Chain A
Amino acid sequence: MTARLRLTLLLLAVVGCGGEKRSTTRLTADATGTLTVLDWAGYEDTVMFATFRQKYPKVKVSVAFGESDPDIYAKMKANADACVFHFYTGWQNFYVTDGLVKELDTTRFANWSQVPERFKALGRVNGKQYYVPWDWGYTSILYRTDKVPGGIDSWNALFDPRFKGHISMWDDGPGAVTAVTYVKGWDETKLTPAQLAEIERMWTDQRKLNRFYWTGEPELVQGMASGEIWVAYAWQGAYNTLLGQRIPVAYAQPKEGRNSWVGLYGISPKCQSPELAEAFLDEKLTPKVGVNLIGAFAYGHVNPNAYAGVTDTNIVKALALRDPTALDRTRFTPIVSEQDRNNFGQLWARVKAAH
């Protein structure tokens, strides 16, 4: 083998290796442009993308707001000018079916390896990775320990006549269906008409026990703080807020398991600056941003390396951050079909319309 041939082979090998191992991002520090993000109020704070801002100071991040998952879906369908959008588990299929999200090349995300598989899996539809998971939290039963001294160990507490007039359920059909399936031990993705009828009956009967259906966390927190509500379907954010107010509350660990939900980011196929979008989402996964998110909203972050940086004891307690098995004992919100979602929505409308 001549020296020239050896050099040629060496060069080919180097080029070949370069082809196999792609660069995580093609952006440089002096990248410019505007990235449009459709997100929830509060996430426009620059600390929610602190490292992106630090790395690419000339890129402008323009945030538009959605107020609910259906609102964000409707805005994306109505051609919202958003490169990146943020929604929560249960809605993954809709964006894929409507061609509103593009498949991700995760090799472009330097921080991807720090994300546990359980979160990554929730961003996959039909075996393809469409979404970057980012924030997570629990749903369980929040209760006043002074009013319910015996404690609560089951989702059935929402239907317990002992708490008549002091229960508050979230105003949400899929959430209502999920709670009953936990009590009954049913699979919420394979419900029969008879099971749906039973769920409807249970919630219709529950109305006389329920004080009000809460639509926003502040409403629930106020109800719990005033002593009006003793038992509620709640997220851990409310628990953390009430702990901060020194209200005697506990967050149940039901025998059926807590529910967990995850926030996911997708990139629109119409995005004119996909490299900015990818870099933005990659930086969202850093531990520093994770600590900022957890501290600001008491929401979990998908990067466990962020947890060590959280020192607020109430938040650590609310998210069970020091318990590595906590998430193993929860049940993540599954992906539901449009038909199921419509059925759950109609069921809840009938419950509210019933006399």
Chain B
Amino acid sequence: MPGAESRRRLWALIAPPAFWLCAFLVVPLLLLSAYSFRAGMSGAFFRDWVPTLENYRILFATPSFFELLAVSVGIALVVALTATALAYPVAYYVVFRARARAGVFIVLLLIPFWISYLLRVMAWKLILGSSGVVNALFMSLGLIQEPISIFFYSRVAVVVTLIYVWTPFVTLPILATLYRIDRSVLEAAASLGATPAQRFWRVTFPLSRPGLIAAAVMVFIPTVGEYVTPLLVGGSTGAMYGNIIQDFFGRSANWPLGAALAVVMLAGTLLLVVATSRVSRVEQYIG
């Protein structure tokens, strides 16, 4: 039976990644959730597990944790929107204007990924840090007497660095969407008398919107839980929600409370993404 054969092939293709996702994503998430209902770290995981809501009580009794989550969501939104806005003209130029040089520009866009994320973030320290290039230049010109700290160890520095890190990354899905636009549609618009601006706003931009939304969501989700960049450039006042989670899993060795914070962040992010997809009906484009 050809139907049964094709089903078997389909399952053979789906089974390995499904198993992988189940073993290394779904099961760890379930364990994380289970940990959030544990009282403490002592004892065996299952044998000494007495369900409790204590971690959620602590979490809901601490307004500063929720305020920091709101700040992190705000930062993620700003970073996602700005990086997408900066990436769009670049992608547009590569697809519609670069012609034979498009390949070179795409390679240039990929170069930052050849360098470690940590190194790219640390590079900002060399540029904006107290003894960095900008401060050194200003001081040598006599414009300032001592290093300006606004450039570094602040929430502004976190936002700027994250935008820098994500911009090349978000260019790629936008590029893919722009490449998929049928050029004959643009030619039809031109033959009907549409100006270049009209062609862009009434044809290119609406057709590239799915790529824009996908790109923004791809930046937004990981940025909400970001912790490396604030740790390196945020200073005393630049912490994000991810830093608090990392503290509970790391220094404080309080996995149950860290797990409760992570579950709340996960649920909140999922809600926001679902709401976004509903509003923009992104699924119709993706599907």
What distance in Å separates the Cβ of B213 from its nearest Cβ neighbour in chain A? 30
Q: Is A211 an interface residue (CB 8 A)?
A: yes
With beta carbons under 8 angstroms apart, the residue of A77, A213, A227, A341 that contacts B236 is A213
Residues of A within 8 A of B237 (CB): 207-208
A161-194 vs B, Cβ < 8 Å mask (1 yes, 0 no): 0000100010111000000000000000000000
Q: Is A217 an interface residue (CB 8 A)?
A: no
List residues of A (323-355) whose CB comes within 8 Å of B's CBs: 338, 341-342, 344-346, 348-350, 352-355
B252-264 vs A, Cβ < 8 Å mask (1 yes, 0 no): 1111010000000
Number of interface residues of B (CB under 8 A): 35
Q: How far is the CA of A172 from the CA of B130 in the complex (A)?
A: 24
Residues of B within 8 A of A212 (CB): 153, 234-236
B149-160 vs A, Cβ < 8 Å mask (1 yes, 0 no): 100010000000
Q: Is B191 an interface residue (CB 8 A)?
A: no
Q: Contact at B254–A345, with CB atoms within 8 Å?
A: yes
List residues of B (92-145) whose CB comes within 8 Å of A's CBs: 129-131
Q: Contact at B247–A165, with CB atoms within 8 Å?
A: no
Residues of B within 8 A of A153 (CB): none
Q: Is A159 an interface residue (CB 8 A)?
A: no
Q: How far is the CA of A207 from the CA of B239 in the complex (A)?
A: 11
Question: Assuming A212-B236, A213-B236, A338-B41, is B67 touching A355 (CB within 8 A)?
Answer: yes
Q: Contact at A349–B252, with CB atoms within 8 Å?
A: yes
Q: Contact at A342–B257, with CB atoms within 8 Å?
A: yes
Q: Is the interface of A mostly helix, strand, loop or mixed?
A: helix
Q: Contact at A211–B42, with CB atoms within 8 Å?
A: no
Residues of A within 8 A of B131 (CB): 226-228
Q: Contact at A353–B239, with CB atoms within 8 Å?
A: yes
With beta carbons under 8 angstroms apart, the residue of A70, A208, A213, A226 that contacts B250 is A70
Residues of B within 8 A of A208 (CB): 236-237
Q: Is B248 an interface residue (CB 8 A)?
A: yes
* Partner-binding segment picked from B7-15, B58-66, B192-200: B58-66
B232-253 vs A, Cβ < 8 Å mask (1 yes, 0 no): 0011110100011001111111
Q: Contact at B149–A165, with CB atoms within 8 Å?
A: yes
Q: Is A74 an interface residue (CB 8 A)?
A: yes
What distance in Å separates the Cβ of B254 from its nearest Cβ neighbour in chain A? 5
Given contacts A228-B129, A352-B247, 6 further A-B contacts (CB under 8 A): A70-B252, A169-B236, A207-B236, A210-B236, A350-B64, A353-B239
Give the A-binding residues of B (Cβ under 8 A): 40-43, 58, 62, 64-65, 67-68, 71, 129-131, 147, 149, 153, 231, 234-237, 239, 243-244, 247-255, 257
23 A-B residue pairings within 8 Å (CB atoms): A94-B253, A98-B43, A165-B149, A169-B236, A171-B251, A172-B251, A207-B236, A208-B236, A212-B153, A226-B130, A226-B131, A227-B130, A227-B131, A338-B40, A345-B252, A346-B62, A346-B252, A348-B247, A348-B251, A349-B244, A349-B247, A350-B64, A355-B71
Ranked nearest first, the 10 interchain pairs of A and B with the lowest CB-CB distance are: A345-B252, A70-B253, A210-B236, A353-B68, A353-B64, A228-B130, A212-B235, A226-B131, A352-B239, A207-B236
